[in-house]
Copies of this chain bind each other. A is one copy, B any other.
């Protein structure tokens, strides 16, 4: 039988990364493809303790809960955000099933087909997926290493009247970029001038490699009028808990909560109660510092090998945080074709093309450095450099 689907499924596409992950999950392939934190660093015993405590307290922790989230967790999150200069009330916080759901719910309550969203290019591909499924027109803005350039941004805001500007300004996925403070302020000034919402997606802000570096989230520079800010516990605690949050103007958060009610009633509340206990008992900030040190070391292992590989023609920036290296090869290289050779040689990466809004650069790739231990990174990079050395010319 042939089933009649909604028109919107024509705008839905499967994630290139998740499809690749299925291929490269062979035991003999060293994978730099996923966006995975290292499971060996997961605070398993502390998570166990937290669940046990949540289950000790009250069987009500297992009952249906509020759509907005467990109140104690929303309070804890306002405290943690205040440490970053983001001062919000708990009622301005909505707990979501990962920050992915925050993007989806935001899109659901904000976008009509044909609305314009401005983004970086490349940008987070699962955000592109969401926006496309709501039939939004995604328009990239010119940028350099400090963020979107003022001229192109203002021109496009004036001409296109976007509903929203979506950015990953801190240690971004895929290209590890950090916006300068000046560019952040400039973006906010334009958001205020043209009454445009800024969606600040910040899953990686905690994974910084210079302990002294303080990056002001855009939300910390805004009086809760123009910036919607989302983050997650997936990179700092564990991904399997699927718990993120979003904060922003009350009207938007309230509307998203209403949409969430019909979507899934509420996020797993046993997990939310466990996270409250975890935040009470566990020094998450010390754990984050361990992650920072460990991931920085691995980033350097990867970088050193590239730095020494004089015989391959590549460009890359040293990531200041996050989980990814973004590499450009000569224009005649097609990294999608190269991936087949790489997998044959026992190493995997994600070709960069799916991260582009349009006119993808076929010669780019994203490499994750957080999931593998240094020795494995060395071996994988040896294999990768071999493959890069014999890169076939683009067909």
Contact = CB atoms under 8 A, between A and B. Distances in A.
Interface of A: 1, 3-9, 12-15, 18, 34-37, 39-40, 42, 44, 47-48, 51-52, 55, 59-65, 67, 96-98, 100-101, 104, 108-112, 115, 126, 129-130, 133-134, 163, 195, 197, 225-226, 234, 238-242, 249, 251-252, 255, 258-259, 261-271, 273
B261 A242 contact: no
A59 B44 contact: yes
A240 B65 contact: yes
A262 B100 contact: yes
Contacts of A266: 242
Given A97-B264, A240-B273, 20 more contacts: A3-B249, A4-B110, A4-B163, A6-B115, A15-B262, A36-B63, A39-B59, A44-B62, A47-B270, A51-B52, A62-B240, A63-B239, A64-B234, A97-B97, A97-B267, A100-B265, A126-B261, A240-B270, A242-B264, A242-B268
A47 B126 CA distance: 33
A331 to B, nearest CB: 31
Contact of A98 (B5, B62, B100, B265): B265
Contacts of A163: 4
Given A7-B112, A44-B55, A18 B67 contact: yes
A110 B4 CA distance: 7
A101 B61 CA distance: 21
A23 to B, nearest CB: 13
B67 A249 contact: no
A132 B60 CA distance: 31
A36 B96 CA distance: 22
A37 to B, nearest CB: 8
A157 B382 CA distance: 64
Contacts of A108: 6, 8
Contacts of A60: 39
Nearest to A224: B1
Contact of A270 (B12, B241, B261): B241
20 contacts: A1-B226, A4-B110, A6-B109, A6-B110, A6-B111, A6-B115, A8-B109, A9-B109, A35-B64, A37-B63, A39-B59, A39-B63, A40-B59, A44-B55, A64-B239, A97-B97, A98-B265, A104-B263, A240-B270, A241-B270
A24 B370 CA distance: 49
A267 B238 contact: no
Nearest to A105: B263
